[in-house]
Amino acid sequence: MTPATRKRDKFRSPSGATARLAAPLLAIMAEPRVGLRPGRIAARVLKRRPRNFPLLMQPRALARQDVRLHAHPKKAQ
């Protein structure tokens, strides 16, 4: 018997009380999470601002080497 099995068996109840207590909880968990929600409106906007960074158009290792040699390009305004 492994230590994990012993620990699991330690928490089991011989009378089946665990199963009786868990059954209603499992039934609630199996129900649909969200039903009809009248009046629910979601804003159709972007949550985050776009960042002013150029796309990585070369291998990352090459880009890192370029940054080490020439520093990051100045921020465009």
What are the pLDDT digits (tens) for 12-28? 666 677 777 888 888 88
Q: Which amino acid is at 56?
A: L
Q: What's the mean pLDDT in 59-76?
A: 87
Residue 41: CA count within 13 A, CB half-sphere = 3
pLDDT, tens digit, 9 for 90 and up, residues 15-67: 677 777 888 888 888 877 767 777 777 767 777 777 777 888 999 999 999 99
pLDDT value, residue 55: 86
Phi, psi of 34 (to 5 degrees): -130, 125
User: What is the b/e burial string over 34-64, where b = at least 16 CB atoms within 10 angstroms of the residue's CB?
Assistant: eeeeeeeeeeeeeeeeeeeeeeeeeeeeeee
Q: Hey, how many other C-beta atoms are within 10 angstroms of the C-beta on 66?
A: 13
- pTM, two decimals, is 0.34
